[in-house]
Structure 1
Amino acid sequence: MSVRYVVIGAGAVGGTIGGRLAGAGQEVVLVARGAHHAALRDHGLRLRVPEGELTYRLPVVDGPDALGALRADDVLLLAVKTQDSLDALRAWGPAPVAGGGTAAERLPLVCAQNGVESQRLALRHFRRVLGVCVWLPSTYVEPGVVSAAGSPLTGILHLGRHPHGTGETARRIAADLEKAHFEAPVVPDVARWQYAKLLANLGNALEALCGPVADERAAAFFGRVRAEGAAVLDAAGIAYASAEEQRAVRGDKVTLVPLDGVPRGGGSSWQSLVRGTGTIEADYLNGEIVLLGRLHGVPAPLNELLRRLADSYARERRAAGSLPLDDLLALEREAVARA
């Protein structure tokens, strides 16, 4: 059966996946808002990748009402930031599907997002939820334009049913992704890969606050943040893929290539501060470690510090990279002393 992908959140990750799927011959609908929606509608999706800039003229809507009844063969791919997930789930869950029923009752929802919270939220609304461990370096450049510098693969997307399992739907989606410049292993324990990625993403707030982690002191600070996160996961009994296992799977399959017209930038949290969105993912990255630490009696002062700072910088629309590292390290000493 032919599948149509409805990409809810056609930003860096969603736009890249949607564009690559469209380039492989899949039917794709993009969901976006504001200036990005207008640019996609008027000029198409411009995807900057190592082979050049590719333009895809795809249907674009700003919500389920604009799309009309969904089809029984649709796959909903959720790629908004986690802080926007609940609004998206509430909007799309009740959407009608041709032949009867709603999206929440009948359609698979694929959570292609950082962290682990969105798929837990999704299970409150959708019967069929799949998780993805998103290893996909990508950037929202400007309205209508996204970039992905990975080569020879654009990204690696482990996927599986949430909370566990595989199934025909996961295998079918993986086959489509494999035709579209991705490697897409179908695994019965996708959460194990997502928690490993979560540990890496604990540095997103550091990068957003202080800039790229190039300074040895910044790298050492991130090492302490990550070690704190690993201690919390261990105390909670949560399994995660080891660094060695991740390196063995990824190898040099996703090597970043400099792209013309794409400024060197940072990850998703950095991009949130640059764009002045007013929100940031730290509540669901560092905040996940804080939550688990409190549940299992393990202090997580460094992750709590990063969560709090990132949230305030986003809310106050402060500039990305504007916190001096010396100031952060001074705050670290205070946080550890209080813990």
Structure 2
Amino acid sequence: MKVCIFGAGAIGGYLAVRMANAGVDVSVVARGPNLAAIREHGLRLRIDGREEVAKVAASDSAADLGPQDYVFTTLKAHSLPPVVDRMAPLFGPDTAFVTAMNGVPYWYFHGLAGQDWRTVEAVDPGGRVSLAIPPGRAIGCVVYPATESPEPGVVEHHDGDRFTLGEPDGSKSERVNALSKAMIEAGFKAPVRPRIRDEIWVKLWGNLAFNPLSALTHQTLDVLATQDDLRGVARAMMLEGKAVAEALGVKFSIDVDKRIAGAAEVGAHKTSMLQDLERGRPMEIDALLTGVCELGAAAGVATPTLDLVLALVRARARAAGCYEG
């Protein structure tokens, strides 16, 4: 099995080390100091008080690596459209594209009866991603581990080992089952679910509210989920998101208050959007919120609170130079 990780950051590096050390032929596309460190020292994973090292093929050019069986992208959604053309050399006739990303995926409507023609403009502007990587190649992947990259070529694992997989059409295909088996052998939990959008929404449900609210208020999860006024705003956003999802056929396995309670248990955690704002990096607004509002419009569901918060967080991000939308 040949697997390429496009974007060997914290999650991508975690995947690469574990799969390479389990015998998978792994390569990574990286750049700059990260690429230099991987080439010199290998990818280093700090986990459970020890360090694992994997020597993998690494390049800043996909053409050096050639066609793969699976290509993982662990990029943030806004980083995907500008680089899809660079991925072309990685794809053979049967290569699968594993979207290990947060938020609404570009292939969202693929496999839904009568809706294959739809694209999600927020994450697939002008259909650019779908044209370069047809949605039929996609395998959904919901990422649960918490990792970070404190220095080039190094990944620190903090918690979690589950990557939930699923075909957009709900099938248990040979390719998704083979990938699941390989990931399990590498030490991950990698269940295959027939309703991958349900899984995507459970994670997105919290992200669509807590991420933008944290960027606007600079508060951590424990405050956002427990302070009455802020919790009320988050809950209203989540209920609107739930209405959108259910209108599109999604089923939620937990209720909104349990989901909020789960966020509160994480404690004084800064969301990724707040971290990006503080560090002056592009913020993942479109995949986590704009796309949800777009899906609401497609489903005929009003999203007034989501629309309001979207306008505010976009303005905040533009003022900080962290958003160009």
**Over residues 267-310 of structure 1, what are the superposed CA-to-partner deviations in whole Å (9 max), with x where a residue is unaligned?**
43344334422x22121111122112233443323323443444
Partner of 1:184: 190
Distance in 2 (alpha carbons) for counterparts of 1:194 and 1:314: 25
Pairs within 5 Å for 1:150-161: 150=159, 154-161=160-167
Distance in 2 (alpha carbons) for counterparts of 1:271 and 1:144: 20
Moved more, 282-291 or 201-210: 201-210
**Over residues 94-142 of structure 1, what are the superposed CA-to-partner deviations in whole Å (9 max), with x where a residue is unaligned?**
x17xxxxxx1633111111112323355544234211112222222333
Task: Tell me whether 1:280 sits opposite 2:283 in the alignment.
Answer: yes
Partner of 2:310: 307
Partner of 2:272: 268
TM-score scaled by length of structure 1: 0.74
Check conservation: 1:194, 1:240, Cα contact below 8 A: no
Task: Tell me whether 1:137 sits opposite 2:125 in the alignment.
Answer: no
Matched position secondary structure for 2:221: coil
Partner of 1:205: 212
Q: 1:52 to 1:267 in 2, by over 3 A?
A: farther
Distance in 2 (alpha carbons) for counterparts of 1:21 and 1:63: 21
Task: Tell me whether 1:148 sits opposite 2:160 in the alignment.
Answer: no
Partner of 1:196: 202
Matched position secondary structure for 1:183: coil
Distance in 1 (alpha carbons) for counterparts of 2:239 and 2:180: 32
Matched position secondary structure for 1:28: strand
Q: 1:178 to 1:285 in 2, by over 3 A?
A: same
Distance in 1 (alpha carbons) for counterparts of 2:271 and 2:151: 15
Distance in 2 (alpha carbons) for counterparts of 1:174 and 1:12: 20
Q: 1:266 to 1:26 in 2, by over 3 A?
A: farther
How far is the alpha carbon of 1:190 from its aligned partner? 1.1
Matched position secondary structure for 2:107: helix
Check conservation: 2:163, 2:190, Cα contact below 8 A: yes
Partner of 2:59: 61
Check conservation: 2:67, 2:95, Cα contact below 8 A: no
Partner of 1:328: none
**Equivalent in 87, 95, 107 of residue 119 of structure 1:** 107
Identity between Structure 1 and Structure 2 (%): 29
Matched position secondary structure for 1:60: strand
How far is the alpha carbon of 1:204 from its aligned partner? 2.2
Matched position secondary structure for 2:106: helix
Task: Tell me whether 1:290 sits opposite 2:297 in the alignment.
Answer: no
Distance in 2 (alpha carbons) for counterparts of 1:306 and 1:155: 32
Which 5+ residue runs of structure 2 have no aligned equivalent? 109-123
The alignment covers a number of residue pairs equal to 287
**Over residues 48-80 of structure 1, what are the superposed CA-to-partner deviations in whole Å (9 max), with x where a residue is unaligned?**
22233333232211121333x325xx3111111
Which 5+ residue runs of structure 1 have no aligned equivalent? 97-102, 257-263, 320-339
How far is the alpha carbon of 1:12 from its aligned partner? 2.0
Matched position secondary structure for 1:140: strand
Q: 1:208 to 1:32 in 2, by over 3 A?
A: farther
**Equivalent in 60, 70, 85 of residue 75 of structure 1:** 70
Partner of 1:231: 243
Distance in 1 (alpha carbons) for counterparts of 2:309 and 2:150: 25
Matched position secondary structure for 1:273: helix
Q: 1:305 to 1:84 in 2, by over 3 A?
A: same
How far is the alpha carbon of 1:27 from its aligned partner? 2.1
How far is the alpha carbon of 1:167 from its aligned partner? 0.6
TM-score scaled by length of structure 2: 0.77
Check conservation: 1:280, 1:310, Cα contact below 8 A: no
Matched position secondary structure for 2:191: coil
Paired AA for residue 77 in structure 1: F
